[in-house]
Structure 1
Amino acid sequence: MTIAYVTAGPDPSPTKDYAEGYKPNIPSREPSIQINSSTSNPGSVRQINKQINVACAVFFLYVYGGMDFAHSAGWNQTLNTTATQVFKCSWFIGVLAGAALASLTMTFLPKLPFYVLGGLMQLTGSIIFTCKPFDYGCLLAARYVAGAGIGLITVPFLIHSAEVATDNHRGVSGSMEQCGLALGIAIQVIYDTQWVDDKEASVNEVHGIIGIVFSIIGLGMTALSIESPIYYLRIKQKEKARKCHAKLLGSFNHSVDQEFEEIQLYVAESQKRTFCQELRISVVPFIKLLLYRGFVAFSFSLPLSESLIKSALLTEGFISCWPVTVWGLVRLLGALVAQGFLDKLGRKFVSLVGLLCMAILMLCMAASYANPANALMTYYMYQVWRLGLAFQAFAGLFVCSSSVYLGEAFPIKVKPFFVGYIIGFEQTIHIINIVGYNKGYENFFYHYYLSVGIILLVGVVFFGIVIPETKKTTLREATKLFQRLQNIRLF
């Protein structure tokens, strides 16, 4: 090394070399050393926070959405009005309608108006719950409005979160949807079962007050969100796109120009293709994620809730017992664990482990219901709620990756339409679960758990073959991986 430095040092004509554009190697190394050291700077943490600002804002909006979700899935024990089948389905119908509207309009609109409008609709629904807690018609309208608000938020968010986060943080950003829903579910389950009748305030009033708080916080935080550079590149406003990109990554990041070139290439590849071409190459990803997100609907449903409620009442004698409280919390715990692994260990392996355990546990619950008389026996009902607790924990592990995959799988032009359709399909499964349970017979739980358990078990094999691992890949690379028929690699 010493000989090399001595040989390179004495340059007989330095002036001539600089005039010809020669740049010595040593100075060029100094900036790289400074940049590498700046990655541990607190400024890098601030820039990561900027990337997930929109995820944090929408997180609070999803918390109230999770409360309405749980309210529709059986956790309305102290409801002041009759929870009819229409009442239970209303929120899901609202989400379906909102998702359809968002998918048709977001191609030419920025994301922020959807968050603001969706948050205002949720705020409206929560205010109605607070002001008219005993009026069935008003409560039904509130659920339609709040559901439509969540639908308006979900489609833009799943796309936006993938576009503004770096390749190393897409998992954390996208999984905020399911984490927010899980927290809302936990709040609703615990609050609904621990509430006693001698309280002065109506249970619906408290539901609305909590919704008002989270809706206002979410609406306030939307002001901190940054629009996707991809949106501005699509409408040919390159300077605005560069400014947004610089805000997201920060000037300290040595790869800001390289990553901007990558998203330019991502947009340019899409612009070269026609809408029909993108539609054709999206058929395989669409089938994969239609089934994958459909499985999410089986992770929390009215039959699961009613099974736990009935088994807890039989074994503990009352619903405000510790198994129900823990049942509400373990899904959130599983989702948080999954969120921590999505960008490190990967999406696929964690999700498949969760799905495999879900399938096994559901088949075990089916065995507990094999004989209709078992539903009246304490021993078997103890097994049911214990298995139900474990099921929700592993469900939390599984569901988070679906949000991330929806933001990665499709080309730009068709992404809103496919994401909106898949979200609508998920709500349709929830509605079918509600209608099917209401029309079920004595042995409904056995047939439901057996059929769904088999479906989930087959899904483990299918998704293990076709779902790709997209950890630390660019959006362009992730989209191409989804277009492949098989993706065996687990890590």
Structure 2
Amino acid sequence: MIEKCKVQEPHTEPEQRWLSQWKKNQPQFNALAASALIFISGGMSIAWGAGFAAHSSHRQRLTLHMQICWYGAAILGSIIGAQLSYRVAQRPVYILGSCLVLSCGLLFVLFPDHSIAIIVGRYMDGLANGLVFVPTLCSVGEISVYSMRGMHSAWLDQLSCNLGMLLQLLYTALWCTEWNASIVADQVHGVLSLMCGITALGLTMILCVESPIYLLLRHNERTAVQAIRYLQSPYLVTSETCLQLDEHKHYVTSNRKLSRSRSLLIGLPALIKLSIFRILNALTLTLVIWSALHETGRGLAEYIHTWPYVLFGSLRFLGSLCGAVLMDSTGRKKPTLVGALTSGGLALSYAMICHCEQFTSSALAMLICFQFFAGLTLTASSVYLTEAFPLSAKSHFVAITYILELGTRMMFTLPSSYAGTVMYFYGMGGIFLVFFLLAILSLPETKMITLMEAQEKFRKLFHFKL
């Protein structure tokens, strides 16, 4: 057993291929893979509440309470998660979250026609997502090497959530009530959530590794070395392990020098930027968006209007997938700028087309393509959340951005008129373009640098470099 890791000088090696690098660092993703499955279930629930549950037995009597209960529970969960982060180990939190998702799935499977059971299930799923969101986004940057931090963060949050949305849209589009199947649509939702919960529970028990930062905060250097060892393949203590330990110790020491008030002050500019970023995430999938997609698809193809759902969800997922792949090569800022500019243009184009005439094929194309570039734009928000904030304020600031995102979703849970939908897209397009200008001036590029260096970049208000 190694008591203390002596730092060695780095040695030069040939550049590894991407696949070999992924294989070497895969344990870092596996350590938080349970969160990804919980977020998949959360993505399904967000889409369900936003209107993408066409064959649900509750679709015709979908109450406001049934829609917003998930968001309220997620807000409560994020508050609890912020208090638990860096105070308790992650494994118990992930176990609780997995059990809540599992219970949600059981309620959907066993009582698909009972409104109270569905509401309780959505409360459980929302609480699970809120509980694990804060510790996951805080720790993913701490356990990942700097060359994979962007991809790991994006895969855990945006990609997983969008995959859940895609699954919800797929079975919504493909489900046919004339099949006379013995299982109803909401039971499919329950089976998928049940699978996510069971798998997440198993992964937590087998693969979960605590953040070395959490261990160093408790002056447990020996266990921190072992954690770093288990976060790489093969599980050996090498010179690279020692360098990572030194980097983590520098991060902890530097943040300990900051007072609580100083940390809050330093993190405030980043909080404002990322809150706007996450609010954009909420605006791209609401009941208004569903209404626009539903009416456009039905107006063009009355009997096959579900196919736009598949394209809608697939392109959003592909957009976030492209963004995740680019995070550690092209960087965070360039995909965000390209996506924001294009998303704003597409949203305004959709609004102008619908303002002049009823829903057309051009409007449908604009709406579906918008989701691809929205997915591309928003991928970097997950990465920035794990990099931007000082350690003592990180969990609370991550929770605040998440709460603002959920609050925005709750604001747009009421049905919208045709004119209201057009105005919504005008407003959203304008917000995307304003964000594009702000991003050029204020978002830093943080690829291929340490977590401490990324945090220091966020202390500045302006960043003009692409």
- Pairwise TM-score range, normalised by the shorter structure: over 0.9
- The answer on whether the counterparts of 1:158 and 1:174 sit within 8 Å (CA) in structure 2 is yes
Is it true that 1:215 corresponds to 2:234 in the alignment?
Answer: no
Q: How far 1:152 sits from its partner (Å)?
A: 0.6
2:459: which partner in 1? 483
Is it true that 1:64 corresponds to 2:41 in the alignment?
Answer: yes
Residue among 118, 124, 128 paired with 2:97: 118
- The answer on whether the counterparts of 2:294 and 2:305 sit within 8 Å (CA) in structure 1 is no
Which amino acid letter does the alignment assign opposite residue 192 of structure 1?
A: T
Aligned to 2:88, the other structure's residue is in SS state coil
Unaligned runs of 5+ in 2: 1-7
For residues 266-345 of structure 1, the aligned pairs below 5 Å read 266-345=251-330
Q: How far 1:252 sits from its partner (Å)?
A: 6.9
Which amino acid letter does the alignment assign opposite residue 244 of structure 1?
A: A
- The answer on whether the counterparts of 2:173 and 2:307 sit within 8 Å (CA) in structure 1 is no
**1:284-330 Cα distance to aligned partner (Å, 9 max, x none):** 11111111111111222221111011110110113554322211211
Q: How far 1:99 sits from its partner (Å)?
A: 0.7
- The answer on whether the counterparts of 2:47 and 2:168 sit within 8 Å (CA) in structure 1 is yes
- The answer on whether the counterparts of 1:111 and 1:160 sit within 8 Å (CA) in structure 2 is no
1:360: which partner in 2? 345
Which amino acid letter does the alignment assign opposite residue 220 of structure 1?
A: G
1:173: which partner in 2? 152
Which amino acid letter does the alignment assign opposite residue 338 of structure 1?
A: G
Is it true that 1:101 corresponds to 2:77 in the alignment?
Answer: no
Separation of aligned partners in 1, 2:238 and 2:326: 24
- The answer on whether the counterparts of 1:125 and 1:145 sit within 8 Å (CA) in structure 2 is yes
Unaligned runs of 5+ in 1: 1-27
Residue among 237, 241, 247 paired with 2:224: 241
1:187: which partner in 2? 167
Of 85-94 and 156-165, deviating more is 85-94
- The answer on whether the counterparts of 1:55 and 1:173 sit within 8 Å (CA) in structure 2 is no
Q: 1:32 to 1:408 in 2, by over 3 A?
A: closer
Is it true that 1:196 corresponds to 2:181 in the alignment?
Answer: no
Q: 1:457 to 1:169 in 2, by over 3 A?
A: same
Aligned to 2:328, the other structure's residue is in SS state coil
CA RMSD of aligned residues (A): 2.1
Separation of aligned partners in 1, 2:220 and 2:304: 57
- The answer on whether the counterparts of 1:53 and 1:224 sit within 8 Å (CA) in structure 2 is yes
Q: 1:45 to 1:171 in 2, by over 3 A?
A: closer
Is it true that 1:410 corresponds to 2:364 in the alignment?
Answer: no
Separation of aligned partners in 2, 1:50 and 1:418: 27
Separation of aligned partners in 2, 1:221 and 1:79: 31
Q: How far 1:103 sits from its partner (Å)?
A: 0.6
Q: How far 1:71 sits from its partner (Å)?
A: 0.3
Is it true that 1:50 corresponds to 2:27 in the alignment?
Answer: yes
- The answer on whether the counterparts of 1:334 and 1:396 sit within 8 Å (CA) in structure 2 is yes
Q: How far 1:45 sits from its partner (Å)?
A: 4.9
Q: How far 1:381 sits from its partner (Å)?
A: 2.4
**Greater C-alpha Rg:** 1
Is it true that 1:258 corresponds to 2:243 in the alignment?
Answer: yes
When the two structures are superposed, what TM-score results if normalisation uses the length of structure 2? 0.92
**1:105-149 Cα distance to aligned partner (Å, 9 max, x none):** 223112222211111111111110111101001111110111110
1:460: which partner in 2? 436
- The answer on whether the counterparts of 1:54 and 1:161 sit within 8 Å (CA) in structure 2 is no
Aligned to 2:355, the other structure's residue is in SS state coil
Between the aligned residues of both structures, percent identity stands at: 27
Q: How far 1:283 sits from its partner (Å)?
A: 1.1
Is it true that 1:471 corresponds to 2:455 in the alignment?
Answer: no
Separation of aligned partners in 2, 1:366 and 1:51: 43
**1:346-379 Cα distance to aligned partner (Å, 9 max, x none):** 01100111111111010011102214xx33xxxx
Separation of aligned partners in 2, 1:325 and 1:273: 49
Q: 1:99 to 1:195 in 2, by over 3 A?
A: same
Q: How many residues align?
A: 451
Is it true that 1:350 corresponds to 2:335 in the alignment?
Answer: yes
Q: 1:32 to 1:474 in 2, by over 3 A?
A: closer
- The answer on whether the counterparts of 2:153 and 2:386 sit within 8 Å (CA) in structure 1 is yes
Residue among 77, 81, 86 paired with 2:54: 77
Separation of aligned partners in 1, 2:110 and 2:141: 38
Aligned to 2:424, the other structure's residue is in SS state helix
Q: 1:41 to 1:99 in 2, by over 3 A?
A: closer
Q: 1:352 to 1:195 in 2, by over 3 A?
A: same
Q: 1:431 to 1:32 in 2, by over 3 A?
A: closer
Separation of aligned partners in 1, 2:454 and 2:304: 45
Q: How far 1:441 sits from its partner (Å)?
A: 3.7
Aligned to 1:413, the other structure's residue is in SS state helix
